[in-house]
Structure 1
């Protein structure tokens, strides 16, 4: 009996409308929204129809006219250096949105590192930030993307952790250091988004602190 292969999502041409370098080596590109999506979903993006696409979280609200994608340039990679050089009018190839890392109206903690903040910013921009706490960990202060907007809207529920630089109202250390210093955790869902090592470390720490495994949802960034 033949084993059916999982069908890869089809890619469609999209015209770039904007490309901003919002931090050194970190870009936010945009194209017109042509379909609906749920905040937290991802798309596959390619620079052409020949080379393999990569997966990126949507970084915009689901009612906005444009879809935005946040990424950092990987110097040894093929795709991100080319994506960082696109200009309005250029064509990229994008799949329909998909994925199950979805926001709900329930209270939750959102825990991210680096560009892993993208799905949570999409949730925030889609209006599902009530009763949410966002913890964002970075190495340098200029990597707190969208911080002015998030701090104004979320107040004390927006926690910044910086491991290599210090500033007032910023926790001095990694996300895991911040979480390890907490004595207790609420009975809510914990959404984790970042590199695999961060996700594993935070998940293990939460479980050690008594958070049920089924209350932890993760999206790994490569």
Structure 2
């Protein structure tokens, strides 16, 4: 937990916003929307809280930078303080939100996006902001219902959209983890940036694998989800 004086400073940076919608898009996974008051760059994050009792948590923005609403994607952690309360919100309820910030920012240049689970959020924000040309997306999940936004991504990206599923099989899924898929490739382009977003163990394992395959360290940009 943050120190009291540190949290007091952060607390003053939070603004009350009204919930527009709170949709359960997959079992235990929600897309929370509020009206957007700030400009932001695709890939940035916000701090989010339901009260001023506990410190806020950080979430990637999961909407385009030209949309009227700002959305975040989250999954319920049953033993957590924040996410069960977030899941119970209905339109008209209030949340506390910071201004967008962060350096995990997309652009129009060719790149490879690598995500697991709800780590798809910043890439969906980039996608919704029109930054998907010349991009390859590799998305890993345990089960088929965890490939959030897959229909839109598949239509737009086609063969540049690769899903990797570790616990279920289907003819159009790679059977295994993201690391298994990357290991199956003979070579990887070394001259494009690789954006990684997901849990720490995935980010570390993929980063090490990319480096072993000749991708320069400076071409790897990571955002870790806790």
Structures share fold, TM-score greater than 0.5: yes
Q: In the alignment, which of 216, 220, 223 is matched to residue 219 of structure 1?
A: 223
Which secondary structure does the structure 2 equivalent of 1:203 belong to? helix
TM-score, normalising length from structure 2? 0.95
Structure 1 moving runs of 4+ over 4 Å: none
Give the match for residue 45 of structure 1: 48
Q: Please, what is the CA RMSD of the aligned residues?
A: 1.3
Which has more helix, going by share of residues? 2
Report the 3-state secondary structure (helix = DSSP H, G, I; strand = E; otherwise coil) of the residue aligned with 2:66: coil
Q: Deviation digits for residues 36-79 of structure 1, max 9, x if unmatched?
A: 00000000000012321000000000000101110000011000
Alpha-carbon separation, structure 2, partners of 1:150 and 1:181: 23
* Structure 2 match to 1:70: 73
CA distance in 2 between counterparts of 1:211 and 1:220 reads 19
**Alignment partner for residue 144 of structure 1, among 127, 142, 147?**
147
Match of 2:120 among 117, 120, 132: 117
Alignment of 1:54-133 (within 5 A): 54-133=57-136
Q: Aligned equivalents of 2:83 and 2:118: distance in 1? A: 13
- Provide the C-alpha distance between the structure 2 equivalents of 1:50 and 1:77, rounded to a whole number of angstroms: 14
Between the two proteins, the alignment pairs up a number of residues equal to 219
Q: Which runs of 5+ in 1 are unaligned?
A: none
1:14 maps to 2:36 = no
Report how far residue 167 of structure 1 moved.
1.1
Structure 2 distance, partners of 1:168, 1:64, is: 35
* Unaligned stretches of 5+ residues in structure 2: 1-5
Residue in 2 aligned with 1:175? Answer: 178
